[in-house]
Amino acid sequence: MTTILLVVTVVASTPSSEPPQTEVKSPIKAVLLEAFIPGGASFYLRNYRKGVLIGGIKLALGGASLHYYLEYRNLKSHGLYYLDAESTFYDCFWWFTLVWLFSLTDAYVSANFWRFEEQTHIGIQISYKF
């Protein structure tokens, strides 16, 4: 009776014996760029689509927050209380804050994993023995 032993191993290695020479992206620089420029870290990391998407969302939410804050402040200065403007301002502001924190976290992680796919080859090796 023949027994077949199937061995599945996950192989992670660099494509060549020499360490790859790649440029390094600073996570601190990426976070600082993202903190002050909407989508700045994504452009720094050459991920332009994500930069436009995150930057656009941050600009839209920031602009909406500013608009509703100014509307609320204007109505309040005239002695009116406009709950909808205040509520919408807080909604936009909290969403802006969440997107801003997410983008800072994404900038840090993306800078740490810069060129990860090119530096590491991950595959599955299947072998069998009779």
Of the candidates 80, 84, 81, 47, which has an alpha carbon nearest to the alpha carbon of residue 68? Answer: 84
3-state secondary structure of 7: strand
pTM of the predicted model as reported, rounded to 2 decimal places: 0.70
| pLDDT at 52 exceeding the cut of 80 | yes
What is the crossing angle of helices 48-77 and 83-112, to 10°?
160
Q: Is residue 8 part of a domain?
A: no
Q: Scanning the structure block, which residue is given the tokens 């993202």?
A: 34
What's the whole-number average pLDDT of the chain? 83
> What's the total number of domains in the chain?
1
Q: Is residue 111 part of a domain?
A: yes
Q: Is residue 55 part of a domain?
A: yes
Q: Is residue 33 part of a domain?
A: no
Q: Which residues pair with 12 in a beta bridge?
A: 122
pLDDT digits (tens, 9 = 90+) for 113-126: 887 776 666 667 77
Q: Is residue 25 part of a domain?
A: no
Q: Is residue 98 part of a domain?
A: yes
Q: Which residues pair with 81 in a beta bridge?
A: none
pLDDT digits (tens, 9 = 90+) for 89-105: 999 999 999 999 999 99
Q: What is the dihedral of CA 54, 59, 61, 67, to 10 degrees?
A: 180
Residue 79 binned pLDDT confidence (cut-offs 50, 70, 90)? confident
- Name the residue range of residue 99's domain: 38-119
Q: Is residue 54 part of a domain?
A: yes
Q: Is residue 110 part of a domain?
A: yes
Q: Are strands 121-129 and 5-13 parallel, antiparallel or unpaired?
A: antiparallel
